[in-house]
Structure 1
């Protein structure tokens, strides 16, 4: 199964070209929160998208109906479909499906509508007459898949995958399985989240997971740096067109990468905690490489989860060493969350997009803001500046609350297999 279309809506610039420009130049899109007054919160920074739905062709009806995350998903789907060059009108709609990942669903819509129906929180008994007519769509994240399916004309399986911060990897992995089992010929898949709202900030404040470096928002996200103190919340979406390799070749499609291997594990340990040994992530990596029939030393680049918390950074450093052995020390690793923040369920798909574009350009994006390496994170984390590097096989990993650990291997279709 191969990626033939990519659409990205991310902080710092809408569209995959702007997204890649930001990453390859090592620029950051983190700033002080502008969506609401953040003064009451411990963490007051985020990676926001400058996004005007009307300017991007959404009608007043669509803007009224859809949560921001759904709008981002549809916008990315439009770009992915156009990029694929596939004549969607010529595809049997029953052989086309949609899988979208999301960790927190329509958070912004629900937050906004609660403020309306409760009159700013003053009413104990809310008045539903003031709610948006399509409020039900905000309660069921399945509406994201439905909106994308309507946009592309897909009448096959439509699913939302919600596994916390690994949702964006797991949704693509599920889409691969749907094609492999013969249920669909084409899948439009990816993830979207728009969680920058007061309720989300309050939740992460409570467990001190987000950074309190409010005086330097541009440099607040510091994965693998010894001075890091939490992640920067972000938003965004990435959507892909997936199809079977031979079908893509027959129509002369541009192929970004093959989804060569995928695996997911759970640590069954703690809702937010991680064991320092990284065993579950290491196992997911080993299984994904096994499915790809690739040895550990074939990995040219690791797109890390790299959230910027000490617990996560040390956990996945251990996982890379366990799964790749000595090759881990020779492999460039980077975290794009240093530039676009952590968009929860969407980030896994955004990182897959970054991985595919790194293969396209043979450039490894940097870990921005990495000035003081944590001695316990002693791998090659490509600090500050992008690096030209032959990249034929990429490992992208994710880690999520609940103990979820996922790994995906992207490779050039003409690779040699073990």
Structure 2
């Protein structure tokens, strides 16, 4: 194992968090949705087949429409950018108005909707709009969020596919520890419910064909078929250095790792990248274990099993409580890691564990919650583990 700095140089506070997704657009709405655990999947026809997916709520659709009408430039932005703006507005605390605030909000697919629109326009007419380039760059989300919030710090974008949001957390921590910002807005945004993107997932034979209400069987370890379901949404947190009086939670530790891969969309049988990222997060936190882990578990046969194997390797015969949110929400790609961080913070605030219906924990689920780990991994075996605490 690569030896890295074992403890955080300075504590990191989370002073704001928000999301927009099929779960809702406020923390109380999201928490109620987790507690009810009712199916929120809808269906769409793709290549002649009905597939499950999760779309944002009608309330969010109305907010997106109002946002477009509020500024002429917003009418030309991709849906992923608009979702990011909505989430960032709700997460951003007022006390940071005059501080040096950076933004790093990434995406797995980026401006998918506009890419497909402009490509079709080019194929049919041989030319495209002058807005096609500036509105489809990957940094588009962070730059427009920064413009909308009126912040003056660095605004950068990135993609590490499904671990993008947690890599944004790593970036934010690094900038804060280097004294290059007072606060950082971090997260991910994804609006990839487009025919081409859904067809890509079907081509990899990852997408669920289940007719059940809960078509994504995330963390069901005995499944024989892949059951990934795609969702849309954005999730954003605000990080500050030190122990802020405005904190809603703290980052206790973080770890990251990558591994040599044999396939572009797979990780090793025992997810060596996750083993390393979880060990590093524990080392930096000074903890021996955590109360629960919100796993990445995308609903694929190999992905779910590999991560579970990694957890067993790290925690041996003393497994923490294990859960996921993709069985309910679906996979929001670049936003998924921060959606899981939000779930972790809500469980800490309410001191209540939200179980996964496809996995049975062998320890009581009503134990006090103090420290939760969140996992995410992207194509290329890039894993991140974040520990959050009260």
What does residue 274 of structure 1 align with? 267
Cα distance in 1 for partners of 2:148, 2:323 equals: 34
How many angstroms does 1:56 deviate by?
Answer: 5.4
1:219 aligns with 2:214: yes
* Contact map agreement 1:24 1:363 (CA 8 A) in 2: no
Match of 1:23 among 34, 38, 42: 34
1:2 aligns with 2:9: no
Q: TM-score, normalised by structure 1?
A: 0.84
What does residue 248 of structure 2 align with? 256
1:49 aligns with 2:56: yes
1:266-415 correspondence to structure 2 within 5 Å: 266-269=258-261, 270-296=263-289, 299-328=290-319, 331-368=320-357, 370=358, 380=362, 388-412=366-390
Q: CA RMSD in A?
A: 2.0
What does residue 244 of structure 1 align with? 241
1:5-84 correspondence to structure 2 within 5 Å: 5-33=16-44, 38-40=45-47, 44-50=51-57, 51-52=61-62, 53-55=64-66, 58-59=69-70, 61-81=72-92, 84=93
Larger displacement relative to structure 2 (159-168 or 20-29): 20-29
1:102 aligns with 2:107: yes
Q: TM-score, normalised by structure 2?
A: 0.90
Q: Any stretches of 5+ residues in structure 2 without a counterpart?
A: 1-11
Match of 2:97 among 75, 80, 89: 89
From the superposition, tell whether residues 43 and 405 of structure 1 become closer, same or farther in structure 2 (CA, over 3 Å). Answer: farther
From the superposition, tell whether residues 406 and 41 of structure 1 become closer, same or farther in structure 2 (CA, over 3 Å). Answer: farther
* Contact map agreement 1:194 1:235 (CA 8 A) in 2: yes
From the superposition, tell whether residues 66 and 233 of structure 1 become closer, same or farther in structure 2 (CA, over 3 Å). Answer: same
User: Matched residue pairs, number?
Assistant: 372
Cα distance in 2 for partners of 1:41, 1:394 equals: 42
Cα distance in 2 for partners of 1:305, 1:167 equals: 12
Cα distance in 2 for partners of 1:219, 1:8 equals: 22
* Contact map agreement 2:275 2:310 (CA 8 A) in 1: yes
Aligned residue for 1:20, secondary structure, equals: helix
What does residue 415 of structure 1 align with? none
Cα distance in 1 for partners of 2:35, 2:74 equals: 32
Give 4+ residue runs of structure 1 displaced > 6 Å after superposition: none
1:45-194 correspondence to structure 2 within 5 Å: 45-50=52-57, 51-52=61-62, 53-55=64-66, 58-59=69-70, 61-81=72-92, 84=93, 86-91=94-99, 95-118=100-123, 123=124, 126-128=126-128, 131=129, 133-194=130-191
Aligned residue for 2:318, secondary structure, equals: helix
* Contact map agreement 1:31 1:45 (CA 8 A) in 2: yes
Q: Any stretches of 5+ residues in structure 1 without a counterpart?
A: 413-418
